[in-house]
Homo-oligomer: A and B are copies of this chain.
Amino acid sequence: MITHAMEDYLKTVYLLQEGQKKVSTSAIAQQMDVSAASVTGMIRKLAAMGLLNYASYHGVELTEGGKKIAQEIIRHHRLLELYLVEIMGFTWDKVHDEADKLEHVISEEFEERMSEALGHPTTDPHGHAIPAKDGALQEVAYETLTKVDAGSSATVQHVNDNDPEMLRYLDQLGILPSTVIQVVSKEPFNGPLRLRIDQTEHFVSREVAGNVFVAAPGKEAN
């Protein structure tokens, strides 16, 4: 039997491993806000179930079976987020927490009906790709806005969705997926970035910029 907690671990490993790389116990612990000891315990169980490969002291890697479950949960999560925004009228800062609970309990029929109501969408409100019913998810690793050179422009691909306050702030600035941002200048000593968004200039901290993932012009997704 696969429990809700197990689903959360698999989801976390999947999102942390971005492709193939091994994921450490402490990375999982930090991400999930549980102790490293708890992670070790759960990992051993998941490894025994054949959902991930585990080399003691050297991190884990999902098996195909583990990946499949993780993708399913991520599909639930992202479809839910979009459904909550588009159909139910939630603001984008409230949907992550709601989806984190609902993702484990909805049926396949619920998933399918959401997808239909939304016209089988491919990205969630924050710009994250929605895995296809079976299909894998090639989450491209974009750079954050902090890496963009002063003078250059970039297009927002996705934003971190786990901090509601941050999302409200970004919304206020007009920063959402597909927004074009020009980095006018970057102040030294970890100073603020001067951004031009839709004719208006804003100064934002590096912390804020670190939550915004962009593609430089000419190398947008797909």
Task: List chain A positions with a Cβ less than 8 A from chain B.
Answer: 84, 87-90, 94, 97-98, 101-102, 105-107, 109-110, 113-114, 117
Q: Is the CB of A98 within 8 A of B107?
A: yes
CB distance from A97 to the nearest CB of B (A): 8
Q: Is the CB of A90 within 8 A of B102?
A: no
> Residue A102 contacts which of B94, B105, B114 (CB distance < 8 angstroms)?
B105
Q: Is the CB of B88 within 8 A of A113?
A: yes
Bound Cα distance A114, B110 (Å):
15
Q: Chain B contacts of A89 at CB under 8 A?
A: 113
CB distance from A80 to the nearest CB of B (A): 11
Q: Is the CB of B105 within 8 A of A117?
A: no
> Residue A109 contacts which of B90, B102, B107 (CB distance < 8 angstroms)?
B90
CB distance from A111 to the nearest CB of B (A): 11
Question: Shortest 8 CB-CB distances between A and B: which pairs?
Answer: A101-B105, A88-B113, A98-B107, A102-B105, A105-B105, A89-B113, A98-B110, A94-B109
When C-beta atoms are compared, the residue in chain B nearest to A100 turns out to be B105
Bound Cα distance A105, B110 (Å):
15
Q: Is the CB of B90 within 8 A of A113?
A: yes
When C-beta atoms are compared, the residue in chain B nearest to A88 turns out to be B113
Bound Cα distance A207, B97 (Å):
44
When C-beta atoms are compared, the residue in chain B nearest to A98 turns out to be B107
- What 17 new A-B contacts, CB under 8 Å, besides A87-B87, A89-B113, A102-B105? A84-B110, A88-B110, A88-B113, A88-B114, A90-B109, A90-B113, A94-B109, A97-B107, A98-B106, A98-B107, A98-B109, A98-B110, A101-B105, A101-B106, A102-B102, A102-B106, A105-B105
